[in-house]
Amino acid sequence: MALYSEKVMDHFRHPRNVGVIEDADGIGEVGNAKCGDIMKMYLKIENDIIVDVKFETFGCGSAIASSSMATELIKGKPVEDAMRLTNRAVAEALDGLPAYKMHCSVLAEEAIRSALEDYQKRSGKVLWECPREASEEERCSCAPETEPAQQE
């Protein structure tokens, strides 16, 4: 059996949504300390819908395929859906990754989460409740910079 699925090879050879969004509403960059690979995600968000997404990945083929598939999975979707995207869902959409390459899909999940955290900070919107008890003085890094808008 081939090591990589046809979908992995397709997204590696023809990655979707590669590039930069100059006026992005959220940018996230993450790296894997062990392999040294870096992934950067750019989100354009309108009315809490991800209208555009682009990525730059300096990494292995699985990381490129994972980034490409992850962008396809969240493009046109509400931010809530993107927040819930797991590395497992990315790997499944690629028809699987070898076990020792699953960490590459984790990078995609983390890059999107990081870009959404950036969007949350910039917009002041509360996309998720901080799991930590952060006081005004000691804000958790995921907390918005500004006062959150009143929730319904």
| Residue placing its CB nearer to ligand FES in the complex, 107 or 142 | 107
Exactly one of 42, 59, 82, 109 binds ligand FES (CB under 6 A); which one?
Answer: 59
Report how far residue 150's alpha carbon sits from residue 134's, in angstroms, rounded to the nearest whole number: 18
Report how far residue 83's alpha carbon sits from residue 127's, in angstroms, rounded to the nearest whole number: 8
Cα→Cα distances 39→22, 31, 57, 96, 112, Å:
16, 6, 4, 20, 10
Using CB under 6 A as the binding rule, whether residue 110 contacts ligand FES is answered as no
CB-based closest residue to ligand FES: 35
- Using CB under 6 A as the binding rule, the residues of this chain from 13 to 32 that contact ligand FES are 32
Cα→Cα distances 92→55, 56, 83, Å:
20, 22, 17
Using CB under 6 A as the binding rule, whether residue 94 contacts ligand FES is answered as no
The residues that are catalytic are 35, 104
Q: Which residues bind ligand FES (CB under 6 A)?
A: 32, 35, 37, 59-60, 62-63, 104, 107
